[in-house]
Structure 1
Amino acid sequence: MTSTSATTRVMPTARARSGAARRPRGRTIGRVVSLDAARGLLVLATVAWLAAPRRPFPASEPWGAMGLDAIALPAFAVIAGCGFAMAQHRGWTSGARVLGRVALLLVAGLALAAAVGLIGGVAAGIAFDPAAGTLGGLERMRVAGPLLQLAVALAALGFLGLLASTWAGWAWATVITAAIGSGTLWLSAGLCGAPQGGLSDACSPATLLVGGIADAAGVPADPAVTQAVTTVIAGLGLALPAAAGAALVHALLRARSVDARQRGRVVGYGLLAAVLFGVLGILAYFTPTVWLHPPLEPATALWTPPLTLAVASLIAVLAGVTHPTVDTDLRGGTSTLGAFAEPFAAVGRISLVAVGTTLAVRTLLEALPDPDPVGWFAALGDIPSVVLGLLVVAAWLALALWAQRRGVRLRP
């Protein structure tokens, strides 16, 4: 028989075993409120950022300075990994479910990219003439964006889920993924001559791969192909925080597998996961200096491990504190504080609809010819932009609460 110390099975309490307070057999396993609430807070912050035409804080540069927006996508990846691990633990996950979610994100991302290409084509007067090689702007479509990156990350997460199903398994999956990702970036920087400069648009795994194949074929590298490969590599970069999220949940599940001192065990395992992610991030950053190369800098262009693991470590610390405070168990039970988390949890349950819709609207408006509505509104100053962002946040919060009260499903 498998030892309970090596599994993530939640054991019944002593009262339940004795029959004094046995749960009904037909009780439905509910959603974990703290997880949905964390996703909801992240959704509201992301929606406010996307809806504000003029941001009060500077945005991140792909290979340069980091802004607050650099936290969003890695955090979504961590929470996606947490949700995957909970579904895996409860037996709700399957290859069909993972493929369905990946296909949904791919279709949404490609449709948005196609719409932007068509708008740009109309603005530039490009005709739809396949014989002449013009498709009304579709031929200039950029295969890029956060939806496509998350689709790649979820596909990689599903593959890792075939290999790992316990805390130890996911911890090793995180370590190996970090080693492969960091090693690939170290090697790429070295091949480009890292002592004179690190990774950039001109020096990345995508440019090396596409450029090498193009050189071998005797043709110039296609920027559109390089962009598509960059999107895939960036998505694989997000697979690391997703794996970390799965490892975090399985750590908490293992802490819950023993009745005694559960709160202390949850905090301890949360901190253990945070330390693991933090150490991996530090190693990813400093290891190149052993060979007198520049450190691997945090970057949003490819979601490098020092950035994504720092976000995962922060979330692990927060989860170790908030999970035992909000949730009474892992079957959907909540404490008194859970009532305060419910509104945010409602938003978390419509995360894809809220963020995807807001992202699509902003992207399409920005694609319109100048002066586009986003640029025009941004010229009005900071205060109108902040007010608009807050109004959009309030609208999504109200819609989420309405859907929860009416029992309307607004998530795919």
Structure 2
Amino acid sequence: MKRIFPALLVAVLFAACGGEAESTIEIVQQANDEFKVIPLTIESEKRKLSEMIESIEVMGLEETDEGLLSGVYNFSQANERLVFPSGSEGDVFVYSNEGKFISTFSRKGEGPEEYGSLQHLWISKDTLFIHDRNRGNINKYDFEGKYLGQIKPSVKSAHLYPYKGGYVGDMNGMPIYDSLKFNIVFFDDQLKIRGMENLYKDVMPFPIESSINSLAAYGDDLLYKEIFGDTIFLIQNETIRPLLKLDFGSDYLWNDETMRADGQKAMGSIQESGKVWIFNPKVGNSKIYLNFNTSFSEATRLLIDQNSGKYYQIDNKKNVEENYAFVPIRWEEDVLIVSLNSYDLAELIKEIGPENAVFKKGSTLESIESSENPVLLWVKFKDFE
């Protein structure tokens, strides 16, 4: 019998990699979309995080009795608002573009106007769209949490992303239509199927639930990466082609066909083999921020230059016993948006130099240090030598 990883386990694994529980990242399209292979190894030269940073721009998130955040892993932005879930509680928080708290709501529950889980969230004009993975529905709310309706799917996808007036869905190892095994589905705006694609001849060795969205914006199109795959695909209209392969060679567990054929064997090998079994890339205009795991707890971070293929292992250590809680969210061209614990900010600024830190309007170091909420950073990395 196939085993199923609980979603919580996968969330914990990626928290070890950098804290992200989901990534609905905005990715700037490269000028050259030819297929590219970047060879990688588990062991590589380490560089301290602060030494790789050229500059940061800082925005605090106001703490109030209602606006107390357990974490920020992604956000959507529209109408001069930042909207994001925080932690695993299913709460939605609304902030201004200057980090001022506006409102919060939760419609988590079992009722017809509620969501059982908050898998992904998008904004369109004045409407929030929340993907409820447990039921497969998309619920619509205004910024105050008022219920505006629901879209029900013809088939339930693990991950969804809005695209071309409809949606793209990832079946996440549970392909549909028997022997054809379609794993990518194109929906219209009412979640009715309008096309399907099959990227892999074999299904995953065992189903695994992840809260990290396998689909991400890439200019006007989308990127897709299967959870156990090492290739990133470009989705254009209703066609899919490989764009980027992050190649760990023999260090990648799933390059061994016996692992894909035997889920029980693979489960035991994840902890013992020391090979890469899962990774999560954030693809920017010229760089990639990559988290990978070689066990259930061993996590490594790389910063990769796409043009040269050169990369460094990121040393996140703040001191002997602690790491920076540096959580990548998305790229804006060559700037990586991350969240960071407020109590780590002063130390990071000291390491990169105060002259390399700028505060957005309404934010100060004093106000941030007096808050328990994380901060948002716009990080510019130094060019590779």
The alignment's TM-score, normalised by the length of structure 1, stands at 0.26
The alignment's TM-score, normalised by the length of structure 2, stands at 0.28
Larger Rg: 1
Report which of the two has the higher share of helix.
Answer: 1
Higher-RCO chain (CA-CA 8 Å, sequence separation at least 6): 1
Report which of the two has the higher share of strand.
Answer: 2
